Amino acid sequence: MMNENQPTANPPLWLVMLMAAMAGGMGWGIRGQYGHETGAMIAGLLVSLVLVHLFCPGNSSLPVVRAVALGTIAMGFGGSMTYGQTVGLTHDTPLIGNVAALRWGMLGLAVKGGVWIGFAGLFLGLGLGGKRYRTFEMLLLVMGMLAAVVLGWWLLNSPHDPANQQLPYFYFSDHWRWEPGVPLKHRPEIWGGLLLALASAILYAAVVKKDRLARNLALWGMVGGALGFPLGQSLQAMNAWNPDFYRESFLAPFARHMNWWNMMETSFGAVMGAVLGLGLWINRRKINVTPDSEEQPPPHWLLGGLLALHVFLLGMVEFGSADWVDGLYDLGLMMGLIPLVACIQGRWWPYAQLLPITLLPIAGKTLRMLVYRTENPIDLSVGWLAYFILPLLAAGVFAGWAAGKSARGEEHPAFIRHALLFSTWMYFGLNYAFFDFPWPWTDWGGRTAHGLMFAICALGLSAVCLFFNSANNRWSGSAWKGHKG
């Protein structure tokens, strides 16, 4: 049952959609520098944090932290899909003017975007819907989803034999039909497998668990992704299809400094975040954050072993070159198996997932870029300290402090505020360094505009952390001090 002493949240719809759009736009825009599954988790973390802050004021922190952790992990699943050539169908130079390719590419982006964000909506709703999921049950659910991936891949993403010109009927990457005679790398697709995995999980939540919030938020996530990806790409495609307009119109001073790929990503994230926020607002009465039962969580030695295994495999996938690890752990759903199982009943893993685990690959990629791959690397010891050691140390201490309070039964509802503020500026700062600090008062380059956009988003998220009390839906200078929301 919901804590009877806590009010039912009813935040203004405009605020929900605006803040979720800022979180999603900044998170997905930052993902553009880091890529794949772990990069997408930034957007999952920020969107989930801001929605939980607005809709779960004053609740015991562990259940809501668990919901945020589940939404964060699930946002990474779609990172296994290839989409670069799907985007290319709508704006590559040889295909400019090909309306059929444009339509097909946009359809592919809608399908892939819907699958991608559907997972995040499902698992965020699963954490907020009040239904109890056990450790072994989650293990079986994910294993079933993995089996569905194989079946869906066979049904919808095969055959894939470009040497004999055999590709699936619904193939959303580039091939000889669009560019005859051009040598292309025909990428294998997996969206069909992930679509069937998502459908099977929604069916389980809706039919077996009667979890209406998980079902509904999954569908809203699919809508957000299906709208956001094509809408974001339409901005980039318009620039490619109408270059003279952007060079000669009133937009020219801005367009010449714009990174249109990053604009597509930022817009995608903003739309999907706003739609997820809308979906949760409509279903807000279904939110039922329940306290943990008395059932014992998995033993600490087991969770510690799983943490060591997960970090090792994650590090090898992101920074190593072992084929057997890539084959085992490079699929987003497989990468999420251990964290999902450990989060669903573990007492400290959700805090670790939100803070150091999600941060680890991002800090590592920032370090790799600024110290080992740039033409003008910074000092080795400074780079390790500033971009890896100190961020992870801060995240680890923060997570350990919060998990310790939770283990002692001490509620600290302001944790979500702290975590949102910490995550917002941590990822903004690492990305700004990755951008080579594009200060707006220096000569503008391709990253300056997005540096400003992300700064505006970070300030907006900070304002809602510091001054908006979600328990009474009021802006107040004392909202932070009161720690009521």
Asked whether 19 and 420 are in contact (CB, 8 A), the reply is no
Residues 331-342: b if buried by 16+ CB within 10 A, e if exposed: bbbbbbbbbbbb
Give 44-103 pLDDT, tens digit per residue: 999 999 999 999 886 667 889 999 999 999 999 999 999 999 999 999 999 999 999 999
Q: For position 387, what pLDDT does the model report?
A: 94
The tally of domains found in the chain comes to 1
307 belongs to a structural domain: yes
39 belongs to a structural domain: yes
Asked whether 24 and 62 are in contact (CB, 8 A), the reply is no
- Domain extent at residue 114: 13-346+453-482
383 belongs to a structural domain: no
Q: For position 292, what pLDDT does the model report?
A: 62
Cα–Cα distance list, 68 to 203, 237, 252, 374, 375 (Å): 22, 34, 41, 34, 38
Q: For position 479, what pLDDT does the model report?
A: 58
Q: For position 375, what pLDDT does the model report?
A: 75
304 belongs to a structural domain: yes
In 307-429, which ranges are E strands?
Answer: none
Alpha helices in 76-211 (DSSP H): 84-91, 99-128, 135-156, 191-203
CA distance 44 to 247: 35
52 belongs to a structural domain: yes
187 belongs to a structural domain: yes
Asked whether 299 and 345 are in contact (CB, 8 A), the reply is no
In 341-416, which ranges are E strands?
Answer: none
Asked whether 299 and 47 are in contact (CB, 8 A), the reply is no
CA distance 198 to 78: 10
Residue 475, strand partner residues: 468
Q: Which two tokens stand for residue 163?
A: 């040497």
Select from 226, 205, 200, 225 the least CA-distant residue to 215.
205
Q: For position 1, what pLDDT does the model report?
A: 37
47 belongs to a structural domain: yes
Select from 392, 303, 266, 365 the least CA-distant residue to 37.
365
Residues of the chain with pLDDT under 70: 1-8, 58-60, 250-251, 291-295, 410-411, 413, 477-485
391 belongs to a structural domain: no
- Is this model's pTM higher than 0.85 or not? yes
